[in-house]
Structure 1
Amino acid sequence: MQAVDVMNRDVVSVKPDLTVREAAALLVEHEISGAPVLDPQGHLLGMISDGDLLHRVELGTGEPRRSRWLEIFSASHDAAAYVKAHARLVKDVMTAGVVTVDEATPLDEVASLLEIHHIRRVPVMRGDEVVGIVSRANLVQALSIAPLEPNTLQAVSDREIRAMLMGEIASHNWALSGRNIIVRNGVVHLFGYYVWSPAQVQALRVAAESVPGVKAVEDHTCATPATVGM
């Protein structure tokens, strides 16, 4: 499998001139822990994550403490920590030099990048355009439905099924942002949270069942806390 087979296509992005508080609200609203920072032309500038917002003066968490040994070589580190703690805008606290992959990157390479760089997600690029995000959660989702024996002959048709389903639901307001759909051996697996009602998941299931080549639909979604008891 490749990045294109598991990536989330509904990319929530952040503008560099957004305030830190606005960015935090956006992450909470979409129930994500990080997002790419894009300029007005859609070019990738960096990533903003909960790690970038951990030490903030507004929270009283301020600048992280360091050991006495580090004090000798810490002028640059201290300056960067001050910016992270006090800056108002995303462009000043984001992480630059982002690790990226393209759509054809094999999942084993994606997993290695996440581990080596101690990151939780990578943007998927098509040239200069961000077309998706692959997170650790997406890899776990793919693992949870992986067959005991890989079936490389099925990969192309699985990809076609996923593309047809994504195209079918793209224009509908019940197609949840934050959803993820993985197709394996003709079986469509739905992951994510529904916000308003189980009818949204039912609509996704019906749409999936109408796609040629789909053998079954497996629902792994669950309600957000706000919908429990509705």
Structure 2
Amino acid sequence: MLKIVKVRDYMTTDLICVSPHTDLTRAVETLLLHKISGAPVVDGEGRLVGMLSEADCLKGIFTGSYFDEESGIVESVMTQAETINAEEDIVRAAEYFIRQGRRRLPVLDGGELVGQISRRDILRAVQHFNDNGARK
């Protein structure tokens, strides 16, 4: 029955995004300030170009440290973003999280970034569905 619950119903829409040209140290400050473990990377027109995770940041910082270099910019460490459509059911998102071990997926509607869904959002949906038998 969870297949009737759409990603759109539980995604986060108030996104904290970073630019590909943001200094990595500044991006880390952003993640820490907002208490998030990753963020979509968007270009000047707001188009999704990648994802930045804590692991990406660590890799960039410690690689730079090893070679005694600056930590670089987001673009040099971000990963290519896999996405999900807002109208997909949350079961598909859950399957992705289980298979890929990722924590979040950017959500697109008509090719435009409209939100993000996380493992925690899926768990919230399951709990709500179990408690109420319907969408929020």
Of the candidates 11, 17, 22, which is equivalent to residue 15 of structure 2?
Answer: 11
SS of the aligned residue for 2:46 comes to coil
- Per the alignment, residue 73 of structure 2 pairs with 89
- Per the alignment, residue 83 of structure 2 pairs with 100
Cα separation, 2, equivalents of 1:118 and 1:33: 14
1:26-105 mapped onto 2 (5 Å cutoff): 26-55=30-59, 56-57=61-62, 62=66, 87-96=71-80, 98-105=81-88
Cα separation, 2, equivalents of 1:144 and 1:113: 19
Residues 143, 59 of structure 1: alpha-carbon distance in 2 compared, 3 angstrom cutoff: farther
Asked if structure 2 preserves the Cα contact closer than 8 Å seen for 1:44 and 1:128, the reply is no
With the length of structure 1 as denominator, give the TM-score of the two structures.
Answer: 0.52
Q: Point out 4+ residue stretches in structure 1 off by more than 2 angstroms.
A: 54-60, 143-151
Identity %: 30
Max Rg structure:
1
Cα deviations by residue, 1:12-50 (Å, 9 ceiling, x for unpaired): 111010000010011111111000100001111100000
Cα separation, 1, equivalents of 2:121 and 2:130: 16
Once the two structures are TM-superposed, the CA of residue 150 in structure 1 deviates from its matched residue by 3.7
Cα separation, 1, equivalents of 2:64 and 2:45: 33
Cα separation, 2, equivalents of 1:137 and 1:91: 27
One-letter code aligned to 2:49: L
With the length of structure 2 as denominator, give the TM-score of the two structures.
Answer: 0.85
Cα separation, 2, equivalents of 1:126 and 1:145: 24
Cα separation, 1, equivalents of 2:70 and 2:8: 37
- Per the alignment, residue 20 of structure 1 pairs with 24
Unaligned runs of 5+ in 1: 63-81, 156-182, 184-230
1:106-121 mapped onto 2 (5 Å cutoff): 106-121=89-104
- Number of residue equivalences: 130
One-letter code aligned to 1:27: L
One-letter code aligned to 2:93: V
Asked if structure 1 preserves the Cα contact closer than 8 Å seen for 2:64 and 2:70, the reply is no
1:53-202 mapped onto 2 (5 Å cutoff): 53-55=57-59, 56-57=61-62, 62=66, 87-96=71-80, 98-147=81-130, 150-151=133-134, 155=135, 183=136
